[in-house]
Amino acid sequence: MYILFEGIDTCGKSTQIELLKHRFHNSIVTKEPGGTNFGVEARSILLRDELKSKRAELLLFLADRAEHYEEVIKPNKDKLILSDRGFLSGIGYALANGDFDFQSLLHLNKFSLENTLPDRIILFITDKKTLQERSSSKELDGIELRGIEYLMLVQTKMQESLEKLHIPYLIIDAREDIETINRRIFEYINKEL
């Protein structure tokens, strides 16, 4: 089962994946971008936020997604895959950048994923206050430096996009404590296996 953990920065996705990999011992843990050698290079470019063209940014994400699918997802389809981000983030960030429409983005992402969308999506939702508190205690990357309003718009675009897809999902309130969130996600995944 291929599961995406989605949400804007500092919402707790990575923390939960770290906890869950110890509960699901044979799971494959990966991330986008950065789950392949190419992804590490792409992530470095993307997080510096130096690209002038939002189309170039989108295409770099899509190239990483295609490579990630070929190298990590496709060979492990029979296993539990926990991915820190994926195509929903890609769509959400692209829509927040403007000048793109949902159907075109979905088509491009399906192309990069060989028409294989994830089996489940877990979307972490936060609020502006929590985002500000958590962001203030870390060094921000180039995308995070676009600001709180931008990140909240990305979150809205992810939610709107998720509702248009026919993929089962779980919404997580990222303001809840780590243990409560972990229990909810564990129960959700465990009943699906």
Query: What is the topology classification, in CATH, of domain 2-192?
Result: Rossmann fold (3.40.50)
Instruction: Name the nearest CA neighbour of 161 among 62, 59, 84, 91.
Output: 91
How much is the pLDDT for 48? 85
Q: Is the pLDDT of residue 81 over 70?
A: yes
In whole angstroms, what is the distance from residue 146 CA to residue 151 CA?
A: 8
Residue with tokens 């500000």: 132
Ranges of each domain in the chain = 2-192
**pLDDT > 70: what percent of the chain?**
99
Burial class (CB in 10 A: 0-12, 13-18, 19+), 164: exposed
How much is the pLDDT for 141? 64
Identity at 92, one-letter amino acid code: G
Give the CB-side neighbour count of residue 66, counting CA atoms within 13 A.
12
Confidence bin at 132 (pLDDT 50/70/90): confident
In whole angstroms, what is the distance from residue 25 CA to residue 148 CA?
A: 36
- Mean local confidence (pLDDT), 83-109: 96
- Mean local confidence (pLDDT), 159-181: 97
How much is the pLDDT for 98? 85
Q: Is the pLDDT of residue 170 over 90?
A: yes
Instruction: Name the nearest CA neighbour of 36 among 93, 76, 79, 94.
Output: 76
Q: Is the pLDDT of residue 43 over 70?
A: yes
Q: Is the pLDDT of residue 165 over 70?
A: yes
Assess whether the previous peptide bond of 75 is cis (omega < 30° from 0): no
Q: What number of H helices and E strands is found in the chain?
A: 8, 5
Strands (E), the chain: 2-6, 28-31, 81-84, 120-125, 169-173
Q: Rounded to the nearest 5°, which phi and psi values hold at 26?
A: -95, 15
Confidence bin at 192 (pLDDT 50/70/90): confident
